[in-house]
Amino acid sequence: MFGNFPLAGKLVAVTGGIGLAFCKLAVSSGARVIIADLKLNQESEQLVHGNNNVSFYKCNVANWKDLEALVPYAESQFSDVPDMYAANAGVGESIRHVGRNLAHPIKLSRIALRALWSRDKKGVVVVTSSVAGLHGHFSTPLYCTSKHGTIGLIKSLARAETEANVKVVGVCPG
Ligand SMILES: NC(=O)c1ccc[n+]([C@@H]2O[C@H](COP(=O)([O-])OP(=O)(O)OC[C@H]3O[C@@H](n4cnc5c(N)ncnc54)[C@H](O)[C@@H]3O)[C@@H](O)[C@H]2O)c1
């Protein structure tokens, strides 16, 4: 079992949102970072600007082709596949968002496993779930459903740690 995964020198790919805080932490730890988002905001733009270790990859996580192209993008920019993948983008209370909140971590985990296996690398996948993944709320049933789904994904992929040297973990903000 591995728990010690220092980020120094690692390549990290993060999709959206709260992910910016993680990107900053990763950069300050000496990692190279790919921000995969629809767009940069003022704060994330500052992180990317003039820093060769941070790269913006324009990506709609609801689009399978965009996600598939993340690894080739990493290879073209940093000559490597990411060591760590954070499936973070996700909000909303509509059927469309259920797909985005749940399908994107499923797809990104598969992409991560394939990329890491192909290089025989040890890696980490972090899925941002929510307290809404642990408890139901009458006012946001679709968001809760999607986040409950991510908990099932994280639990199901736990064995990847021993089977494939890929540790899949979740965080539940809220
Ligand atoms: N903020 C909270 O209080 C809270 C609580 C619990 C869980 N979460 C979870 O944390 C994660 C981030 O939430 P947040 O509050 O930071 O969100 P946010 O709304 O602040 O940011 C969302 C980010 O995702 C990007 N994004 C949206 N749709 C996208 C798409 N289709 N493709 C690529 N990028 C896209 C946006 O551009 C933005 O940068 C989500 O998974 C959310 O469910 C947040």
Answer yes or no: is the C-beta of 14 below 6 A from any ligand 1 atom.
no
Domains in the chain: boundaries: 11-171
The CATH number corresponding to 11-171 among 1.10.287.3510, 3.20.20.80, 3.40.50.720, 3.40.50.140 equals 3.40.50.720
> What is the model's pLDDT at position 92?
87
pLDDT number for residue 109:
98
**CB–CB of 60/103 below 8 Å?**
no
Q: Does the Cβ of 141 fall within 6 Å of ligand 1?
A: no
Report pLDDT for 1. 64
Give every CB contact of residue 78 below 8 A, 6+ residues apart in sequence: 11, 32, 34, 55
Tokens of 4: 């010690």
**Ligand 1 nearest-atom number relative to CA 128:** 41
* Residue 62 per-residue DSSP state: T
Can you say how many angstroms the Cα of residue 142 is from the centroid of all Cα atoms in its chain?
Answer: 21
In order along the chain (174 residues), what is the average pLDDT of each group of 10 residues?
Answer: 87 86 94 96 92 95 95 98 95 88 96 97 97 97 97 98 96 94
Specify the residue with its C-alpha closest to ligand 1, atom 7.
130
